[in-house]
Amino acid sequence: MQQIPHAMFNLNVVYMMYEPEHWCEVPGFDDPNDTTVYQWGLQDVQNMSFVFPNENGRGGAYIRDSCHYYARPVERYKELRKMPLQQAIHSAWKDSAVKKKCERYHYKTDVMHETIVTDWNLVCDDYFMKGHAHLFYSFGYLVGCVVGGMASDNFGRKPTVIGFGILSSMFGVFLPYTTYYPMFLFIRFCSAICNEAADLAAYTLCMEIT
């Protein structure tokens, strides 16, 4: 039975760290669904180098840059959106738009509505921070091996399995309610310690019984 939560803790990162398709939140597109005033929105120009630059993708194909956009005055974008799309593209060629990094993002929600990537914008320049979730969990495993071995020798196998199993469940309940990334990493580190300590004691107990 111990292996069921153990596997769940190990594999939940696949879902938590899923990175959906994303693009910049562009000033002037604050009301993307307003079709009464504007004739097009960001969804209509995803594959055009009009609002978003293109970059080289795999196989030499051009894809939309997910980390930059062309900065124009807000009123200019609103003016362009009142035109038919082709007319707006033609009119925008005269603009001196500056390529700018995203400050905020839109995320596609067709696969998952929310992950740690979308909660804390772990994309583009902050993409490397996503790996910290793996790193802290691995460190927790390392500490859990030592703590679990000492606890099971001093207090017994069953008390160690039960005690760390309860703690692991408590940290698992707290994890979805974390409000900032360092707190998430700390709770994940603690849950890894408890999870591995309980699993190690359970494994040792089974080996001794058999």
Q: How far is it, in rounded angstroms, from Cα 195 to Cα 207?
A: 18
67: DSSP letter: S
Highest mean pLDDT among 56-65, 87-96, 114-123: 114-123
List residues bridging with 24 in a β-sheet: 105
Q: Tell me: the pLDDT tens digits for 11-24?
A: 777 788 888 888 88
Q: Tell me: the pLDDT tens digits for 152-201?
A: 888 888 888 889 888 988 888 888 888 889 999 999 999 999 988 988 88
* H/E stretch holding 178: none
**Per-residue pLDDT, 2:** 59
Model pTM?
0.76
Whether residue 111 contacts residue 18, with contact meaning beta carbons closer than 8 Å, is answered with yes
The mean pLDDT of 71-81, rounded to a whole number, is 85
